[in-house]
Amino acid sequence: MRLPLPALLCCSAASLLLLLLRWRRRSGLWRKVRAARQRQERSLVRMEMAVQRFREQHPSVNVVSILKLPLPELTKKLRDGSLPLEHVFYAYVGKALQMATETNCITEYLQESETQVQKMKPVGKLGLLYGVPVSLKDSIDCQGHDSTLGFIRNINKPVAEDSVVVQVLRRQGAIPFVKTNVPQSLVSYDCNNLIFGQTFNPLLYTRSPGGSTGGEGALIGGGGSILGFGTDLGGSLRFPAAFCGICAFKPTGNRLSKKGVVSGIPGQKAVTAAVGPMAKDVESLALSMRALLCEDMFSLDSSVPPIPFNEEVYSSTQPLRIGYYETDFFTMPSPAMRRAIRETKQLLEDAGHTLVPFELMNVDYAFFNFCVKGVFADGGASFLRKFKGELEESSLGMLWLMKSPNWLKNVLSWITKPFMPRFSAVLASMRANTVDQVWSLHCEIEEFSQQFTAQWKKLNLDVMLCPMLGPALGIGYPPKLSVAVSYTMLYNALDFPAGVVPVTMVTDEDEEELKDYQGYFRDWWDRTMAKVRVVPGSLGSKHPHPFPWTSPCPLLLLFVPQAFRGSVGLPVSVQCVALPWQEELCLRFMKEVETLALKNNSFI
């Protein structure tokens, strides 16, 4: 039956109107994006003007010598007045500007930091971080500035007050001076969003800097910040540190305040997020924890237990009993990852420590049923709401899964189980759960944690040496290899403190062994590790252009190798883990690993 002409005309007009409304909405969103990018560019211009003005007034300042100072030595010189505060501040602003230009890591310059520098006077009791410029992840609230999480809706919504962490940093004399880039929603270990674009690894521009604290990783890894702060839900501090060759520390979830820190998935309690520091070395991480674990932190957020930094534990030289494993039998380690564990184990044994094999069990079950199911216990409904009215970043492939009804997830899970068991398990884990099922899940996680701790104590362990994914993956690979978070997310589900220390670099022999890399399951994720990918770049530039369609340079195609291949000389890290609330012991272990690696010249 054919519709009469007036009805057809009405349907056509309605469809056209819907298209026009959609076009208008999208145009409005892109206008906000362009305005945000222009503001980002103006921030960089202000940084350039500030640095130029300082250099004209102080042409003899040796910026290179300032940037070489480790944080403990820098703070000593700032506190005793032997190094002017302004010299340090503008040295880092200049270097940060360079890294922003090269890696696209900075989203905003906090211009009020210049006023803070001018007003600071070395009188009375000086804070432990007096005069230290610090960088902040986009999601950490800083008064008067956006916390976008890569969402367009959050543009031009400056927060009313500093997060507790920022308040304590200021009281300790630190100077927050930039905010750094993140992936859209934070639920990724890459660093790309539609507002500010892709951030690049400062060590090799065709590689990801990691995420979600990727802007911090790139900035600190390139020397543009001496101390930064981010968050970690599944490795978001540890991935950028490992990929960019620096150190990072994820404390027990509630050791540092999360008040005023925006979460990618607010409300979920199955997998514990944490706020933590990133720096070039472990001593800097320890100093930052020492500064934050003070009365100011405990009074500003009464939910944080009043446990000051335990200097005795951190300074101890007693031999340690250390558990270790080379693989989780879920994500096959690269040859360099396996070698990093073996060499570090040998160095620790030679130094007088005892190393005990630890049998890691049920990682696949924990990953699917605790991590994936726990984070998306509502089937991803609350996560999807964040994307309502948004432009979606194309690499967030999981969104179509969440949008699918439960019956379709069940059918697809059943169909794919024989030949794609991990994908089938992901589908099954992303179904919406009842309240009773969520409570049962929380009981399961608690029981798993108790069993893990019992196994730990049965072996009489102090700490654990674990693999860390590396070297840095090619740009675009992290979203395709989401299951590789198994090495890090386990310790968020357990809520154990964990840190990352670089210990070696990829060798030619590691590259040669990659020819035999197949993975444990030989499924889509394992096969993706072996693919070569093409990304757009621009002539006259050492890295792919974040927005190639806006590039004034002719385009070329850059061939990004297999996820791990082509990495000779890139850093490889290990993970150091301790039981909950034993941050000082974990840091002490990290310091030992770092010292031995440096003595062995395995990482320079």
Specify whether the CB–CB gap between 208 and 567 falls below 8 A.
Answer: no
Residue labelled with tokens 């007045």: 81
Q: Is the dihedral of CA 496, 369, 375, 187 positive or negative?
A: positive
* Residue 557: how many other CB atoms lie within 10 Å: 10
Give the residues across from 480 on adjacent strands: none
Specify whether the CB–CB gap between 233 and 273 falls below 8 A.
Answer: yes
Does 212 participate in catalysis according to the annotation? yes
Which one of 236, 334, 395, 602 is the catalytic residue? 236
Which one of 43, 113, 135, 137 is the catalytic residue? 137
Specify whether the CB–CB gap between 323 and 486 falls below 8 A.
Answer: no
d(CA 188, CA 182): 9
Look up residue 459 and give its two tokens: 């072996």
d(CA 48, CA 566): 35
Does 137 participate in catalysis according to the annotation? yes
Per DSSP, the residues of 420-471 read -HHHHHHHHHTSB--HHHHHHHHHHHHHHHHHHHHHHHHTT-SEEEEE---S
Query: 3-state secondary structure string, 212-281?
Result: CCHHHHHHHHCCCCCCEEEEECCCCCHHHHHHHCCEEEECCCCCCCCCCECCCCCCCCCCCCEEEEEECC
Give the residues across from 465 on adjacent strands: 324, 576
Does 257 participate in catalysis according to the annotation? no
Which one of 212, 225, 429, 573 is the catalytic residue? 212
Nearest to 216 by CA among 244, 254, 235, 194: 244
d(CA 1, CA 321): 81
Supply the residues annotated as catalytic: 137, 212, 236
